[in-house]
Chains A and B, each alone.
Chain A
Amino acid sequence: MALKQRLLYLSGQSTDPRSPAISQALHEPVRGSIVEIDPTKTGLDYDSVYEAICDGWRVVHFPDQRGSLEGSEVEVFGYQFVLEKMEQFDD
């Protein structure tokens, strides 16, 4: 067993952690695991970053307060939080 970091990328509608979640990607610390669009799944695991925190996730990166490239030629949807959970995994 080894203590490893699970990563959850969760984008909110705003910088408020209680704002509705727009997208998610979960990275498991298991070699060979993949992260991709899952067409068989509806909805997200958490409705907001706050809901994930209540479930034990810890924020390790907060989105930039300066906005989402407003005025730029390119756009990014949502404000991305990165959360972690440290858990034991079989090596």
Chain B
Amino acid sequence: MTSATTAFEASGVSAQNLLNDDQVADFVINGYHIVEPQFPAEFHSQIYSDLEVLPTNPGDEINKAVPNIDEIYEHPAVRGALSSLLGADYSLAAHRHCHRNHPGTRSQVWHQDSLNIPTLDDGHGRVSDHVQSVLVMYYPQDVASNMGPTALIPGSHLFTASGDRNASHGNFRDQIVAVVPAGSVLILHYDIWHAGTANTSDQVRYMVKYLFERESESAEPSWNHDAANDDRIFERLERDDAALIQRSLVGKRNYRRTTMWNNLAGSAGLSYEYRDKWSGEWPKPNV
């Protein structure tokens, strides 16, 4: 295990809350991670009730209008995941938003969130080879497939989208929809292509979004890292599928995956060494 663990203990996050190598690889490959922090069911239903009586959308002030929401983002399981992806000294951005998806709401189009947010510290633009910012979405109620779940395209955070050119896509074959139990927290790479979908139910679906930012570059892995996994992780970054894309993008995708991992891992990055991936058994004839 990395000695970075001590730095996290100093910040109040214990090693058991940090992600492991495969969970971080999953995030690099797919661009999302789901946490289910443990709270009583009544805790989430109270937040739902508090949101229901808000006369207007408080925007960035949602955490002041419903203070209990902050507890979600302070839960050790959430902090551990954020520390693993952004480093122990990550920060909360000033921009927050509560999405009220009422019955009859139409689907959004596929998009990456705007970069035109003045409250983001550094205006870093799209970052396809690192994790500089994450969107963290909290759902205070069960989300069924007809309640307008958040949809995302796994692996799309590695590419810069053109909203206009993507407007003629509807459903993607490999899209993921966040059909999740109450209290779930969906952590997304800021650049992932996503959309709120149609709510055809008779229930309001809430999603509260906070943004978190990296404050410093990694000197070493900020998760439970074991160098013995390096070869296997390298293989995963080259071979694991996310959403189906054209072959001409696969090389770029794999390069960005490995670069992202290395930017996260600091001195423990993977080395680019030639490996013969094609030796082995002859292919079997098709009969």
Give the interface of A toward B (CB within 8 A). 9, 11, 13-14, 20-26, 34-41, 43-44, 67-70, 73-80
List of B residues within 8 angstroms of A20 by Cβ: 173, 244
For chain B, the bracket of interface size reads 35 or more
Whether, in the assembled complex, B246 has its beta carbon less than 8 Å from a beta carbon of chain A, the answer is yes
Instruction: From known contacts A36-B107, A68-B246, A76-B166, infer whether A43 and B173 are also in contact, taking CB-CB under 8 Å.
Output: yes
Whether, in the assembled complex, B182 has its beta carbon less than 8 Å from a beta carbon of chain A, the answer is no
Cβ-defined contact, A39 with B246, below 8 A: no
**CB of A61, distance to nearest CB on chain B (Å):** 11
Complex Cα gap A70–B159 (Å)? 12
Lowest 4 A-B CB distances belong to which pairs?
A25-B170, A36-B107, A75-B159, A39-B197
Complex Cα gap A43–B173 (Å)? 5
Cβ-defined contact, A44 with B246, below 8 A: no
**CB of B103, distance to nearest CB on chain A (Å):** 14
Complex Cα gap A21–B148 (Å)? 24
List of B residues within 8 angstroms of A80 by Cβ: 168
List of B residues within 8 angstroms of A73 by Cβ: 160
Complex Cα gap A16–B200 (Å)? 36
List of A residues within 8 angstroms of B177 by Cβ: 39
**CB of A8, distance to nearest CB on chain B (Å):** 10
Cβ-defined contact, A38 with B169, below 8 A: no
Residue from B107, B159, B171 with most neighbouring chain A CB atoms (10 Å): B171
**CB of A65, distance to nearest CB on chain B (Å):** 12
Instruction: From known contacts A14-B246, A75-B160, infer whether A23 and B151 are also in contact, taking CB-CB under 8 Å.
Output: no
Q: Pick 23 A–B contacts, CB within 8 A, sort by A.
A: A13-B244, A13-B246, A20-B173, A22-B174, A23-B169, A24-B170, A24-B171, A25-B171, A36-B106, A36-B198, A37-B170, A37-B175, A39-B107, A39-B198, A68-B246, A68-B248, A68-B249, A74-B165, A75-B162, A75-B249, A76-B161, A76-B162, A77-B166
Q: A13-B245, A23-B171, A37-B198 are in contact. List 9 more A-B contacts (CB 8 A).
A: A9-B168, A23-B172, A37-B171, A39-B145, A74-B160, A74-B165, A75-B159, A75-B160, A77-B243
- Checking B110, B179, B197, B245 against A38 with a beta-carbon cut-off of 8 angstroms, the contacting residue is B197
Cβ-defined contact, B169 with A9, below 8 A: yes
Chain A, Cβ-Cβ closest to B156: A77
**CB of A44, distance to nearest CB on chain B (Å):** 5
**CB of B152, distance to nearest CB on chain A (Å):** 10
List of A residues within 8 angstroms of B245 by Cβ: 13, 22, 77-78
Complex Cα gap A72–B137 (Å)? 31
Cβ-defined contact, A14 with B247, below 8 A: yes
List of A residues within 8 angstroms of B156 by Cβ: 77
Complex Cα gap A21–B156 (Å)? 17
Cβ-defined contact, A23 with B248, below 8 A: no
Complex Cα gap A11–B161 (Å)? 16
Cβ-defined contact, A37 with B110, below 8 A: yes
**CB of A22, distance to nearest CB on chain B (Å):** 5
Cβ-defined contact, A26 with B246, below 8 A: no
Chain A, Cβ-Cβ closest to B197: A39
**CB of B61, distance to nearest CB on chain A (Å):** 30
Complex Cα gap A56–B267 (Å)? 57
Complex Cα gap A14–B153 (Å)? 18
